[in-house]
């Protein structure tokens, strides 16, 4: 499927903006979004910590957030510091359950913001499951049942933290043809 002929890139921009805005708001630190979205053949959970959430309704897909350990730790430490937690209450290793729990909560807030933004712009709604967060040692591919699986559109966007660590959003969407209708 040609991304230029569908609304997928518009959705990718919405999801990317939601990730950036929510992570910046949570951490109080700047998050840079790559200027390019890469079309990929499928999505996977990679890195040290992966979070994914499925959504379905007027539009359907899977959003994955992949973090190396240091990136997840940086974001969680910055977020908890901003919330006013004392230094001794903030995790010092990405393997800490608190890091995974906070990444899960962040992912939940992100998908909620994405759904609200899509609803406001396109008047389309979707339900989302509770995100799953998993520590990972080998990449795990994810797929979803689609009307036309070969047409599933998958995109990766990279984000850079204040300390120059990277994390990635991978998004798989059933294509939505055309643009908003005005009658």
CATH number of the domain where residue 77 is located: 3.40.1550.10
Domain-located, residue 109: yes
Task: Give Cβ neighbours of residue 40 (< 8 Å, ≥ 6 apart).
Answer: 154, 155, 156, 170
Domain-located, residue 183: no
Q: How confident is the model at residue 3 (pLDDT cuts 50, 70, 90)?
A: low
Domain-located, residue 179: no
Residue 74 contacts residue 30 (beta carbons within 8 Å): no
88-94 long-range contacts, CB within 8 A, separation 24+: 93/69, 94/48, 94/49, 94/69, 94/70
Domain-located, residue 180: no
Domain-located, residue 182: no
Domain-located, residue 8: yes
Structural domain boundaries enclosing 139: 3-173
Domain-located, residue 74: yes
Q: Comparing 176 with 42, which gets the higher pLDDT? A: 42
Nearest one of 136, 151, 141 to 43, comparing CA atoms: 141
Q: How confident is the model at residue 108 (pLDDT cuts 50, 70, 90)?
A: very high
The DSSP code for 71 is H
The predicted-structure confidence for 126-157, as pLDDT tens digits, reads as follows 999 999 999 888 888 888 776 665 678 999 99
Number of domains in the chain: 1
């Amino acid at each position: 499927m040609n991304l230029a002929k569908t609304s997928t890139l518009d959705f990718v921009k919405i999801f990317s903006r939601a990730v950036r805005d929510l992570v910046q708001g949570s951490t109080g630190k700047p998050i840079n979004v790559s200027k390019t979205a890469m079309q990929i053949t499928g999505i996977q959970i990679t890195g040290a910590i992966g979070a994914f959430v499925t959504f379905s309704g007027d539009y359907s897909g899977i959003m994955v957030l992949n973090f190396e350990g240091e990136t997840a730790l940086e974001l969680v430490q910055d977020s908890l510091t901003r919330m006013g937690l004392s230094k001794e209450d903030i995790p010092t290793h990405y393997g800490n359950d608190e890091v995974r729990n906070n990444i899960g909560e962040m992912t939940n807030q992100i998908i909620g913001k994405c759904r609200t933004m899509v609803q406001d712009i396109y008047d389309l709604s979707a339900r989302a499951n509770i995100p799953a967060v998993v520590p990972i040692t080998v990449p795990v591919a994810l797929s979803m049942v689609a009307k036309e699986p070969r047409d599933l559109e998958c995109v990766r966007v990279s984000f850079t933290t204040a300390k120059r660590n990277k994390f990635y959003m991978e998004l798989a969407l059933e294509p939505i043809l055309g643009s908003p209708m005005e009658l």
